[in-house]
Structure 1
Amino acid sequence: MAFEIKTEITINVSPEKVWGILTNFEAYPNWNPFIKSITGQVAVGQKITARIAPPDASEMTFKPTVLTFVENKELIWLGHLLFSGIFDGTHKFELIDNGNGTTTFIQSEIFKGILVPIFKSQLNKNTKNGFIAMNDKLKQLAEKA
């Protein structure tokens, strides 16, 4: 079974400015309410360590593999719970240049695996709320500076 969460927000700055904040992983603990940290070499094929804290849920640390890293446009990673096929998540940050000085930031994740039905309601609430909180903070930070 597959399940997708997708959120988006318009940010009133260029994709380059949003990307600069989004990829400044060292600063995540200072502003990001959902992804508390990302460490490791964020490059295609590399494993990174991500610590997330969804609202009203337990904090988790996992080690996804970076699938895509396109400057000012897209970052995608794939993580697994235990091993592939149990509970897999393909997380995506996408930046769309609206051509008018604004950026549409899309954060999504496709979950697949045999445990997805068990966690679906929690994902749709806690994880989605985490995405929204992060999107809002990213917008505030980008537009403030």
Structure 2
Amino acid sequence: MSKNKIESKITIHAPIETVWAVLSNFEKYHEWNSFTPKIELTNELGSTVGLHVRLNPRSSKTILQKETLLAWEEGERLEWGITDAWLVRTIRIQHLKAIDENTTEYYTSDAFEGPLTRLILFFYRTKIQIGFDDVCTGLKKQVEGL
């Protein structure tokens, strides 16, 4: 793992199509995603992604993070990030991999670059890591409960 990357993954006992259906249903993120309970986006590359991020799991307060949709590979991968700023650039990946017809690996990461990277990770690495781990657990519970 890169020191400027935060990542998490989990095995989900469900077909990849079922996991993708939950992962790509942004209107229902609040049902399982405590870290980013609301996302506003279309699947048009280059469009703005509005992420309502909860850095404190004990609070209902979210911050709005605006990023750009970089990849939408139907049934497999979502990617967005901050690519046009020089102080900090990020790339967030959510990737599904079929282990077999009834098992899927979910992987998520956020890679950081730029002069503010060390400062951001000093203050937020643990909160983001906890958030990513919660996303994995929430997605698994939501999908396996269907």
State the TM-score, normalized to the length of structure 1: 0.90
Counterpart in the other structure of 2:16: 15
Aligned residues of 2:16 and 2:101 also touching (Cα < 8 A) = no
Between 14-23 and 115-124, report the one with greater CA deviation: 115-124
Counterpart in the other structure of 2:91: 90
Name the aligned partner's letter for residue 106 of structure 2.
F
Counterpart in the other structure of 2:107: 106
Name the aligned partner's letter for residue 87 of structure 2.
I
> How much identity, in percent, do the aligned residues show?
25
Counterpart in the other structure of 2:67: 64
Once the two structures are superposed, residues 85-132 of structure 1 have per-residue CA deviations (whole angstroms, 9 ceiling, x without a partner) of: 112221000000112410000010101111111121333200010000
Partners of 1:71 and 1:9 lie apart in 2 by: 20
State the TM-score, normalized to the length of structure 2: 0.89
Q: How big is the shift at 1:69?
A: 0.3
Partners of 1:111 and 1:75 lie apart in 2 by: 17
Partners of 1:106 and 1:76 lie apart in 2 by: 12
RMSD: 2.0
Q: Which runs of 5+ in 2 are unaligned?
A: none
SS in 2 for 1:104: strand
Counterpart in the other structure of 1:79: 82
Name the aligned partner's letter for residue 91 of structure 1.
R
Name the aligned partner's letter for residue 20 of structure 2.
W
**Runs of 4+ displaced beyond 4 Å:** none
Q: Which runs of 5+ in 1 are unaligned?
A: none
Query: What is the count of residue pairs matched by the alignment?
Result: 143
SS in 2 for 1:55: coil
Distance 1:79 1:60, change over 3 A: farther
